[in-house]
A and B are shown apart, each in its own frame.
Chain A
């Protein structure tokens, strides 16, 4: 086989995902994840109508995004099989969000520090 594995091969290429890709997630597990997603959806709608901003400004946003993040994590881990995938896939998924964070952070560092605080609309 061409893919004779050399001891030098970087562990990013660890071929354990060959077994991982064929990992079959059981139907009950899928249904459980589905349940979590549904609960999250209902929760996020209900919470949105409650004024949490009196706790601290932006609390509503924070809660809504946290729930969205949790939902996303479950979709990625189980529906998209990341949990059973190689490190490279983990790295890829994380890198995507890391770069998104770079774009947000470095754009906002401008908008949040405009010295006059005013952008004349």
Chain B
């Protein structure tokens, strides 16, 4: 035993390939560490998004009709288009890894550029969708939605557009508690500076504009309201537009949080791609050393997977309720 223990390894005179960090013995070990580390990171990401998915699950199971209403109002064509864009970008990313493995520099560079273009396209579409929602007054943040001036109304996307109804909003339960907090920033300054401007706005407080309760009525007629909904949408046995709106706002909150976090990950991904592009262009990756491409690829595919779930959950579920009136 003891003699075996004396056996030593000289780590200093063997060949050090480029890109090998000092704490590792060889490229295999480094590659394996990077791979496990990246997967651990992705597990962390799963749980990070998982918290949001749990929130979605809880609220959807309580208020399916409000969620269907909110979901049906999203633009399914933009959503589906973006899904396609992301899947194509995943393909180009996978090809980038392939060309890195086979040591083809120009093909790598082209694939990375394509991936970046597609990622940017996705974000652009997302920005258009966000802007639409903003102009329609359904960004769920108190005090935003200010631009919902009367003259901008015709711009909003057709079909299921929700007209703002100032009267119902006056009774908004939002305004009731802690009104001081609602006042902050927006309505106060608008009315102080120029009183007459107020008239032009349907929504001086920037409240969440939603009046459509048709799905709740449908569910009531067909008798598939959940027990939570029977309490959550009704006042004195009547459907309460404000209470229903509050539930739709939760949907939009979840929509903005989830897609926003996803978009943030896309932006980080684009940063990674830019770095990869520079490295690939300078020929850093060879058939022996391509771990950064592979790891960034894992990240990119993960972000794609999140979207693969977000798309049906946010855009599609509940479409069949609205199929008649859509």
A and B touch in the complex (CB under 8 A): yes
Hey, what's the 0/1 contact readout for A50-67 against B, CB within 8 Å counting as 1? 111100010011001101
A113 CB-CB contact with B under 8 Å: no
For A22, list chain B residues within 8 Å (CB): 101
Interface size on A, residues (CB 8 A): 62
Given contacts A30-B91, A49-B319, A17 and B62 within 8 Å (CB-CB): no
For B54, list chain A residues within 8 Å (CB): 103-104, 107
For B308, list chain A residues within 8 Å (CB): 68, 71-72, 75
Residues facing A in B31-66 (CB within 8 A) are 31-32, 35-36, 39-40, 42-43, 46-47, 50-51, 53-54, 57-58, 61-63
B75 CB-CB contact with A under 8 Å: no
For A95, list chain B residues within 8 Å (CB): 43
A37 to chain B, nearest CB (A): 5
Which among B39, B58, B228, B317 is the interface contact of A89 at CB below 8 angstroms? B39
- Tell me the bound Cα distance from A45 to B308 in angstroms: 12
Task: Contact check, A107 vs B301: say whether CB atoms are below 8 A apart.
Answer: no
Task: Contact check, B316 vs A51: say whether CB atoms are below 8 A apart.
Answer: no
- Tell me the bound Cα distance from A19 to B29 in angstroms: 12
- Tell me the bound Cα distance from A64 to B308 in angstroms: 10
For A80, list chain B residues within 8 Å (CB): 297-298, 301-302
Task: Contact check, A3 vs B36: say whether CB atoms are below 8 A apart.
Answer: no
Task: Contact check, A111 vs B35: say whether CB atoms are below 8 A apart.
Answer: no
Given contacts A96-B46, A104-B54, A64 and B35 within 8 Å (CB-CB): no
Task: Contact check, A1 vs B93: say whether CB atoms are below 8 A apart.
Answer: no
B212 CB-CB contact with A under 8 Å: no
- Tell me the bound Cα distance from A55 to B35 in angstroms: 44
- Assign chain B's interface to a size class: 35 or more
A63 to chain B, nearest CB (A): 9
Residues facing B in A69-121 (CB within 8 A) are 71-72, 75-76, 78-81, 85, 88-89, 92-93, 95-97, 99-100, 103-104, 107-108, 111-112, 116-121
B9 CB-CB contact with A under 8 Å: yes
Task: Contact check, A38 vs B87: say whether CB atoms are below 8 A apart.
Answer: yes
For B313, list chain A residues within 8 Å (CB): 64
Task: Contact check, A41 vs B320: say whether CB atoms are below 8 A apart.
Answer: no
B224 CB-CB contact with A under 8 Å: yes
Hey, what's the 0/1 contact readout for B287-326 against A, CB within 8 Å counting as 1? 0000000100110011011001101110011111001000
Binds A, one of B76-84, B125-133, B162-170: B76-84
Minimal Cβ-Cβ distance residue in A for B14: A1
Most buried by A among B50, B101, B316: B316
Most buried by B among A3, A31, A68: A68
Task: Contact check, B95 vs A30: say whether CB atoms are below 8 A apart.
Answer: yes
Report which A residues bind B (CB closer than 8 A). 1-3, 15, 17-18, 21-22, 24-25, 27, 30-31, 34, 37-38, 41, 44-45, 48-53, 57, 60-61, 64-65, 67-68, 71-72, 75-76, 78-81, 85, 88-89, 92-93, 95-97, 99-100, 103-104, 107-108, 111-112, 116-121
Contacts A/B (CB < 8 Å), 29 sampled: A1-B25, A3-B25, A18-B31, A21-B32, A24-B101, A24-B102, A30-B94, A37-B87, A45-B80, A48-B312, A48-B319, A48-B320, A60-B319, A68-B308, A72-B305, A79-B304, A80-B297, A80-B301, A96-B43, A96-B47, A99-B46, A100-B50, A103-B50, A103-B51, A104-B53, A108-B58, A111-B61, A117-B227, A118-B228
Report which B residues bind A (CB closer than 8 A). 9, 11, 25-26, 28-29, 31-32, 35-36, 39-40, 42-43, 46-47, 50-51, 53-54, 57-58, 61-63, 76, 80, 83-84, 87-88, 90-91, 93-95, 98, 101-102, 224, 227-228, 230-232, 243, 246-247, 294, 297-298, 301-302, 304-305, 308-309, 311-313, 316-320, 323
Nearest 7 Cβ contacts at the A-B interface: A121-B232, A48-B316, A2-B25, A64-B312, A96-B43, A96-B46, A117-B227
